[in-house]
Amino acid sequence: MSNCLFCKIIAGEIPSTKVYEDDTVLAFRDIAPQAPTHILVIPKTHIGSVAEITAENSAVVAHIFEVIAAIAKAEGLKNGYRVVSNCGDDAGQTVHHLHYHILGGKKLAVEMA
Ligand code: 5GP
Ligand code: ZN
């Protein structure tokens, strides 16, 4: 998607602090961290949100969760962490390229809504 911020980060047109990269997945630090560790994990193919996950593209989502577990370990998040994906307007999604937030490094608020 030519006008997608995260596609531009994948293409290297916008710089990011990369944490992990392979053929299908990229992880980088959030520009406005909400916790001491705040990393975004995204598929390299453009998927708009959780709502666009299908049987045809879900293999990358399974891989993303393997990557999340490995990143959390590498970042030393021994006490736990939160994985969040905002989907659509009611959830406050601001970037319309599927992404999973990894939040950790402090005791997180338990409020979910
Ligand atoms: P959302 O609100 O869609 O769930 O999350 C989008 C996230 O992307 C936000 O946490 C925001 O801080 C982050 N973000 C927005 N623009 C950039 C950017 O240019 N670089 C990085 N690294 N993160 C960004
Ligand atoms: Zn995109």
Residue 96 near residue 48 (C-beta atoms within 8 A): yes
Catalytic residue from among 96, 97, 99, 101 = 99
* pTM confidence score: 0.97
17 CA from centroid of ligand 1 (Å) = 12
49 CA from centroid of ligand 2 (Å) = 10
What pLDDT is recorded for position 58?
98
99 is catalytic: yes
What pLDDT is recorded for position 111?
85
What pLDDT is recorded for position 93?
98
- Residue 83: its H or E element: strand 81-84
What pLDDT is recorded for position 2?
77
Residue 101 near residue 67 (C-beta atoms within 8 A): no
Block means of pLDDT (10 residues each) for the chain, 113 residues, are 92 98 98 98 98 98 98 98 98 98 96 82
Radius of gyration of the chain (CA): 14
